[in-house]
Structure 1
Amino acid sequence: MRFAKPRVSQKWRQRVLAVSAAALVVPMAAGLTGGAIAAAQPATAAQAELVRINPSPWGDRFQRHSVFSPSMGINVQVDVLRAAGGGSGALYLLDGLRAPDQASGWQLETNALEMFADSNVNVVLPVGGRSSFYADWYGPSSTNGQPYTYKWETFLTSELPGYLSGLGIRSTGNAIAGLSMAGSAALKIAADHKPMFNYAASFSGYLNLSAPGMPSLIRLALLDEGGYNVDDMWGPPWDPAWADHDPTVFADELAGIQLYISAGNGIPGAYTRLETPVDYFNTANAMGLEVVSMLNTRTFEGRANALGLNATFSYPPTGVHAWGYWQDELAKARPGILAAVGG
């Protein structure tokens, strides 16, 4: 299913994107002490503790694993909801910029586990990855004393599959989905590892990362969330790594993969509450971020259509950068995920 869009030139799109990104600098700079930048707020400690004490209503089907990553030299928590029918296929759900260390935001903030609880698909929730873009970085972040280098793509595709195979979860023909920072990551990982993934979804992702204004916007977001240095991730904006991780640039490598791509229009909807001044401030940020995501997504759509990719695009009539809207889009993507994975 494809949605019609107005004819807008690539040059004009890039100009609008640059202006939008620049317009976001002021509210983002003002929000460096805790605004809603690039993802919903993390779960509270009470929520995380509740998850740890009483993780799920599914008994032994919900499993918490500690998986050692040789490339990062750390143990990574990976939560798994086992398939109801004993299936071997998996859906990997990647978190947003503010990924907490206690449990995946998908578990804490949405009904994703309930959504797939009766399916024959294993839901794999890597925990952590704050400000990482789930990428392999050049080195540890030099601005916040990070003691190791992020190597998330290596972990997810070269280290974790061997561990999961011991649980009966296969390493081919799976699905991967991500929101916000993880939208582009899901597409990048799927493109790089086609035998492992035949389905990828991006919800409010940034799918034209090397476009004018985007490196600066991402730099601010990483500094806000943990003081991470984007130069240690992909280098300065002219480094080839930016294009290498830009879905619009590598779109041809997504041939053969079923895609589900969504973005809101920045208009608050059913999941937006405006009761306090902080609500208004965070909603303003979430509106701006979603507009940038929508512009990125429209640019990617033009490239995908030109290449004839197997992609479904969803642009709901309302939606800002927040969990409720991503939950709805995951529900829309669910039938395609189950069909692709065999659930």
Structure 2
Amino acid sequence: MKFLRRLTAPAAALAIAVTAATGTLITPTAGAAALTPADIAGDTPLSEIAPETAPVTENSPYWRRAVAADESGRVEELVATSPAMDGRKVSLAVIKAPNPGAPTYYMLNGADGGEGGANWIQQSDILEFFQDKNVNVVIPMEGQFSYYTDWVTEQPQLGGKQMWETFLTQELPGPIEEYLQAGDKRAISGMSMSATSSLLLAQHNPDFYDAVGSFSGCAATSNPVGYTSMQVTLNRANTTPEAMWGPRGTGTWHYNDALINAEKLEGTELYVSNGSGLAGSWDLPSSPRLEGANQVQASAAMAETIIVGGAIEAVTNTCTHDLNTKLQANGINGDFNFRNTGTHSWGYWQDDLYDSWPTIARGLGL
């Protein structure tokens, strides 16, 4: 099954533009996670894992139909409960490793959390990519506009309590890794909104993730650029950063700023990518993602990614350079992939799926 070859709207529109720059690729030192899911969970009630029993129909979301249509026998739709979110049932798309004892790779979707069409399954060939790799892949298909963090307020429009960090780091890993007969290594990656999340989850749980990927994200959250980025994203859900973390300037904000806490990534294999904001191969009429689109559709998609996606990517480019500078100042190296071109759109995150794998695999011991 081929991924959808079309451009999608960027995750958010920012009224900020910055100067784009290029960078280099730096090879990090290898690290090894030391903590187990039980260490992280402590006394936290755990998720219950079960296969999804709801029928798949022609009206089901694309990702459910793609999972159901997979013929490898290794792709499955599961449901995990979240005690911290009042028993909420969270859908998971899972690619099972061919052998027991394999590591686990958690991959997060962007601003729509996978609840819309902007998710890894619909916008990339992720199901095919991992077929020849001995790794379990877990993709939560919910969590829109959550930043996959624990909120200080409930959000009825987002389903009530938002305790995504508790779910992803304490409630889920033990049960899902036991279900998959997984080994003791794990990695996490995200793009756009969840690129920030993947960094924070690793920083909050040192020695738990062996590798981390962050694609087109903004590590900073409390400076003007980072705050505005979050504000624009959360405005789409009729909420605010303050509803998420409380008043600015409090300890919660310091704790959730991945730039301030960059040194906590030491010892973790790290891949971080960003385009420049300038139009690249995925934004042009020749892009395979525009295959089958008429002239009007192609023009609209190109305008969206080049104008809006270009501005967003230019902002995250600055964020990513700031993270690189902070890490180097602390003697920490990572694989930083600064592209000369590229907008905030799925073609480039499809590239990141491939480009990040050597770093992720190294961390996972593959």
Partner of 2:165: 153
- Is 157-166 or 320-329 further displaced after alignment? 157-166
Partner residue of 1:62?
75
CA deviations over 1:191-243 (Å, ceiling 9, x no partner) = 2223331110100011122122432332122112x323322111233233232
Conserved 8 A contact 1:243-1:249: yes
In the aligned structure 2, how far is the partner of 1:325 from the partner of 1:263?
9
Instruction: Give the 3-state SS of the residue equivalent to 2:172 in structure 1.
Output: helix
Question: 2:102 maps to which residue?
Answer: 88
Find the residue that maps to 1:23 and give its secondary structure.
coil
Q: Among the aligned pairs, what percent are the same residue?
A: 29
The secondary structure found in structure 1 opposite 2:348 is helix
**Counterparts of 1:21 and 1:52, CA distance in 2:** 31
Task: Answer whether contact 1:179 1:205 (CA < 8 A) is retained.
Answer: yes
Q: Does 1:283 align with 2:314?
A: no
2:53 counterpart residue number: none
Task: Tell me the equivalent position of 1:78.
Answer: 92
1:140 maps onto 2:151 in alignment: no
Aligned to 1:248: 259
Give 1:47 deviation, angstroms. Answer: 8.9
With normalisation by structure 1, the TM-score equals 0.81
Quick one: distance in 2 between partners of 1:102 and 1:66?
A: 18
> More relative contact order in 1 or in 2 (CA 8 Å, sep 6+)?
2
CA distance in 1, matches of 2:97, 2:265: 27
- CA gap of 1:316–1:240, structure 2 versus 1, over 3 A, is same
CA 1:341–1:197: 2 relative to 1, 3 Å: same
Where does residue 217 of structure 2 map in the other structure? 205
CA distance in 1, matches of 2:342, 2:213: 17
Query: What is residue 4 of structure 2 aligned with on the other side?
Result: none
Change (3 A) 1:136 1:171: farther
Match of 1:221 in 2: 233
- The RMSD of aligned alpha carbons is 2.4
CA offsets 1:55-74 (integer angstroms, 9 cap, x no match):
24344311111111000120
After superposition, what is the alpha-carbon deviation per residue over 1:75-122, rounded to whole angstroms, capped at 9, x for unaligned? Answer: 001111011333431111011012232787111101122222111111
Q: Is the 8 A contact 1:22 1:213 kept in 2?
A: no
Match of 2:339 among 268, 291, 316: 316
Q: Distance in 1 between matches of 2:336 and 2:189?
A: 14
In structure 2, runs of 5+ residues without a counterpart are 1-12, 18-56, 286-297
Unaligned runs of 5+ in 1: 1-19, 25-44
Q: Report deviation, 1:150.
A: 0.8
User: How big is each residue's C-alpha offset from its partner over 1:267-288, in whole Å with a ceiling of 9 and x where there is no partner?
Assistant: 1111114633464144311001
State the 4+ residue runs in structure 1 displaced beyond 6 angstroms. none
Distance 2:196 2:59 in 1: 28
Matched, 1:181 2:193: yes
Deviation for aligned residue 1:295: 0.1
Q: Are residues 219 and 65 of structure 1, via their aligned partners in 2, closer, same or farther at CA, if it must alter by over 3 Å?
A: same
Aligned match for 2:353, one of 320, 330, 342: 330
Give the letter for the 2:353 counterpart. L
Residue 317 of structure 2 corresponds to residue 294 of structure 1: yes
Shift of 1:254: 1.1
The 1:47–1:193 alpha-carbon spacing in structure 2 relative to 1, beyond 3 Å, is farther
Shift of 1:145: 4.0
| CA distance in structure 2 between the aligned counterparts of 1:80 and 1:21, rounded to whole angstroms | 33
The Cα shift of 1:322 comes to 0.6
Aligned counterpart in structure 1 of residue 16 of structure 2, from 19, 23, 38 = 23
Give 1:23 shift. Answer: 3.5
Which string of whole-angstrom CA distances, capped at 9 and with x for unpartnered residues, describes residues 10-48 of structure 1?
Answer: xxxxxxxxxx96536xxxxxxxxxxxxxxxxxxxx9795
Contact 1:208 1:247 in 2 (8 A): yes
* Counterpart position of 2:245: 234
- Pair 1:269-2:283 in alignment: no
User: Contact (CA 8 Å) 1:178, 1:185: kept in 2 or not?
Assistant: yes
Does the 8 A contact of 1:52 with 1:102 survive in 2?
A: no
SS of the residue aligned with 1:80?
strand
